[in-house]
Amino acid sequence: MKIAINATCLNSQPTGTTQRFKGIYRELFTRLQDTEFVVFEPLDCRISSWFDRFDNVSFRRTPLSSQDRVERFIRGVLFWPRILKNERFDILEVSNLPLAGSLRGRTILTLHDIRYVSQNSGVVSKSINKFILDKSVAQCERIITISESVRSEILSFYPDRSVSVVHNGIDISFFQAMSSSDLQSVRDCYNLPNDFVLSVGHFEDRKNYINLVTAVARLRDQGRAVFLVIVGNDNGQLAAVKKHIHSLGIATNVTILNGLSDFELSCIYRLCRLFVFPSYYEGFGIPILEAMAADCPVVLSDIPVFKEITQSQGVYFEHSDPESIATVIDEVLASDSERCRLMQYGRERVQDFSFRKVSMDLEGVYRSLS
């Protein structure tokens, strides 16, 4: 097979999409030596630097920027038809919208979520996004998504489409590679308390940090001093969260960190006493896998995708109720046996999300189209 990968939406910013790409394709490039891969890079990122040299893989720079979706689409309308006409690809895999070019009957479209059409938003923006999604879905043979929950959402809009699930994955060994001196160094560097609760994710409304910090304030008011560390970059809501923290008078109980290296974050997972993920919408939830790989007990909001990842064997709270969040955090922090149970379950469950396993699922999709 000869497979073209449109990776022009990727860049060096740390995202779940970038992590997924690196992990899955490193496995596929290694294992599928009889397959020729051509990876089309954006103008502003050398994706080739993410990988060792592979004889079956080539990387091609494009005039398309990863930063501007509209510009990338307009330029792509001219770029992709010429490329796809002049070369004989068996499969084209695309991970960004709008779809500017396709191999009719042989294009795979990866959708990480469809919250821009399924969640509450402005009527105009939702209509535009739905139009773009409709046109893109019509051009592809197969849709790949990252969870059964998102698959169900997609099928509710497009019941006649073929949708396969290829979960996100994780390099488990990376979260177990640090020494005790590494951990102490990170603790000292960021002045982390001995016992703290951790949450990870960019600052945006769906991450539900307002209710999480409200829960911390409730616990403080009940005489239970809980220290919360949030690691994430600003995606529009950082100022509002900081304002809420100060209005509650819990600035000494909450630490916000950003710009950490992957290794520093892995150490912080290992250092925390409990990981809490309060989102009200996610397509998947890679931080859950990271916490499991770091041997950290996890408590979660009660949304379907989190129950899918944890097979309904975790501990959950009502995401819209700060009192529920506070109660679950308090109960799990107070129970050594429950934390041990969650840690043991996490060690076993995270094995199902190794990059080798999920790359084999993607390989199966390729084989079904060849």
Q: Quick one: tokens of 265? A: 């974050």
Per-residue confidence band for 203, with pLDDT thresholds at 50, 70 and 90: very high
How high is the pLDDT of residue 120? 66
Lowest mean pLDDT among 114-128, 278-292, 300-314: 114-128
Strand, helix or coil at 273?
Answer: coil
Average pLDDT over residues 334-349: 97
The answer to whether the beta carbons of residues 79 and 64 sit under 8 Å apart is yes
Average pLDDT over residues 258-264: 93
User: How confident is the model over 165-201, as pLDDT tens digits?
Assistant: 999 999 999 998 899 999 999 999 999 999 999 999 9
Per-residue confidence band for 299, with pLDDT thresholds at 50, 70 and 90: very high
Region(s) of the chain under CATH 3.40.50.2000: 2-169+354-369, 172-353
- Residue with structure tokens 């403080």? 220
Give strand pairing partners of 200: 231
Q: Quick one: tokens of 37? A: 């891969």
Which whole-number Å values give the CA distances from 319 to 118, 163, 210, 242, in the listed order?
18, 29, 11, 20
149 φ, ψ (degrees, to nearest 5)? -65, -45
Across 31-55, b (16+ Cβ under 10 Å) vs e yields ebeebbbbbbbbeebebbebeeebe
Which whole-number Å values give the CA distances from 113 to 16, 37, 166, 295, in the listed order?
12, 26, 13, 27
Per-residue confidence band for 278, with pLDDT thresholds at 50, 70 and 90: very high
C-alpha of 8 from chain center: 18
Q: In whole angstroms, what is the distance from residue 17 CA to residue 24 CA? A: 11
Per-residue confidence band for 300, with pLDDT thresholds at 50, 70 and 90: very high
Average pLDDT over residues 204-222: 97
Which whole-number Å values give the CA distances from 32 to 9, 13, 270, 369, in the listed order?
24, 28, 34, 15
CATH fold for the domain made of 2-169+354-369: Rossmann fold (3.40.50)
HEC letters along 315-361: EEECCCCHHHHHHHHHHHHCCHHHHHHHHHHHHHHHHHHEHHHHHHH
C-alpha of 327 from chain center: 27
How high is the pLDDT of residue 369? 87
Q: In whole angstroms, what is the distance from residue 237 CA to residue 246 CA? A: 15
Helix/strand number for the chain, H first, E second: 14, 13
> What percentage of the chain carries pLDDT values higher than 90?
86
Per-residue confidence band for 289, with pLDDT thresholds at 50, 70 and 90: very high
User: How confident is the model over 217-230, as pLDDT tens digits?
Assistant: 999 999 998 999 99
CATH superfamily of 172-353: Glycogen Phosphorylase B; (3.40.50.2000)
How high is the pLDDT of residue 121? 66
Q: Quick one: tokens of 4? A: 């073209």
Please say whether the dihedral angle defined by the alpha carbons of residues 333, 194, 345 and 309, taken in this order, is positive or negative: positive
148 φ, ψ (degrees, to nearest 5)? -65, -30
Strand, helix or coil at 79?
Answer: helix
